[in-house]
Amino acid sequence: MNQPSDKLMSLKDAIERFVADRAHISIGGFTINRNPMAAVYEIIRQKKRNLHLYAHSNGQAVDELVGGGCVSRLEIAYAGSGRFAPTCIRFRKAVEQGRLQVEDYSNYQMTLRFMAGAMGVPFLPCRSGLATDIANTWGFPASLRQSDPKLPDHKLVVTENPFGTWCDTTKVVLVPAIVPDVTILHVQEADSHGLVRIEGLTFADIEQAKAARRLIVTCEKLVETGRLKQRPDANQLPPFCVDAVVHVPWGAYPTACYRHYDYDPVFLNRYKQEAAGDESYRQYLEDWIFSHKDHKAMMDSIDKDRLASITADGRTGYASGLERR
């Protein structure tokens, strides 16, 4: 019997193959949870440049991609890492120093934009943002929009409800679809053909995945073909959405991966300090990212007891009692 194609590859190969300089990329996860960190570190290691990044509410991954010098344009709703960095640190510096062009949306707008991409429609309507600067102030000038065929001509469009006052609504905000060149997700389980299972909250990962031209999935556990099909209602993405499957244990570290491990408060607190200064950040990039050849080497460098302390317990799916100060 014919088998579907095997998409298993190394992270190095997946990033080399699917993430080009100037690519429009989107990354899954939310603030300090299930960010595709191994892939982010590989992008930084390969010195990708001038990426156009789409995110809704991302924290650590956005900050490291910006800090690593990979991103020149960002469309985003929120850049923060919870209590560890209420505003992402390298992101903040880059914007204040004029090194990063940003366009702000709300979280729901970004979600709908990915959904529109996934549905293959040019825009979706919402009631969010009327009379705000999100609607009235553009981050990217019209000239930039016209020069890049991957960008729509308008940030968004506010218009009368074409159905009159149907649903007690007089005005709507139309937000344009996002079609990333590539989306990168980290998930709990996948098989080598690209059948994907996410546990816990899916955030907007599914919409981001379906909107993209290419999809890289890194997975905590690589499972045998057929096993995920025993519980199909727990799966989210069929293999035909997926271009690369990469097995990367601890692939979301230092962010959390529900039922596998918690975020690492020690790492995130230290990052906060190291990211605060340009020189200390250069040192951080060297010591943590460039001096390790891959994610496994990075994880091997971390104290085993520390990793044990953030390992999720079977009852709650996180590391209960973890010291998080």
- The mark string for 10-49 relative to another protein (x by CB under 8 A, - otherwise) is -------------------xxxxxx---------------
Number of residues located near another protein, criterion CB under 8 A = 70
Q: Is 270 helix (H, G, I), strand (E, B) or coil?
A: helix
Stretch that binds another protein, among 45-53, 79-87, 218-226, 301-309 (CB under 8 A): 79-87
- The mark string for 200-229 relative to another protein (x by CB under 8 A, - otherwise) is xxxxx-xx----------------------
| Number of residues that this document lists for the chain | 325
Stretch that binds another protein, among 37-45, 169-177, 210-218, 280-288 (CB under 8 A): 169-177
Q: Check residue 59 for interaction with another protein (CB under 8 A).
A: yes
Q: How near is the Cβ of 46 to another protein at its closest, in Å?
A: 27
Buried-exposed string 150-178: b where 16+ CB fall within 10 A, e elsewhere? ebbeebbeeeeeeeeeeeeeeebbbbbbb
Q: Check residue 73 for interaction with another protein (CB under 8 A).
A: no
Spatial contact of 100 and 154, defined as CB atoms under 8 Å apart: no
Q: Check residue 178 for interaction with another protein (CB under 8 A).
A: no
Give the CA radius of gyration of the chain: 20
Applying CB under 8 A, among 61, 134, 156, 190 the residue interacting with another protein is: 134
Spatial contact of 12 and 110, defined as CB atoms under 8 Å apart: no
Applying CB under 8 A, among 26, 111, 192, 218 the residue interacting with another protein is: 111
What are the tokens at 176?
């344009």
Q: Check residue 271 for interaction with another protein (CB under 8 A).
A: no
Applying CB under 8 A, among 81, 183, 188, 192 the residue interacting with another protein is: 81
Q: Which is nearer to another protein, 170 or 280 (CB)?
A: 170
CB atoms within 10 A of CB 124: 20
Q: Check residue 107 for interaction with another protein (CB under 8 A).
A: yes
Q: Which helix (H) or strand (E) holds 91?
A: helix 89-96
Spatial contact of 184 and 154, defined as CB atoms under 8 Å apart: no
Q: Check residue 275 for interaction with another protein (CB under 8 A).
A: no
Q: What is the DSSP string of 42-53?
A: HHHHTT--SEEE
d(CA 28, CA 82): 16
Q: Which is nearer to another protein, 228 or 256 (CB)?
A: 256
- The mark string for 304-323 relative to another protein (x by CB under 8 A, - otherwise) is --------x---xxx-x---
Measuring CA to CA, which residue among 293, 251, 294, 290 is closest to residue 69? 290
d(CA 29, CA 185): 7
CB atoms within 10 A of CB 16: 14
Spatial contact of 199 and 259, defined as CB atoms under 8 Å apart: yes
- Contacts with another protein, residue ranges (CB under 8 A): 29-34, 56-57, 59, 76-84, 86-88, 91-92, 95-96, 98, 104-109, 111-112, 115, 126-134, 136-137, 139, 167, 169-172, 200-204, 206-207, 256, 258, 262-263, 312, 316-318, 320, 324-325
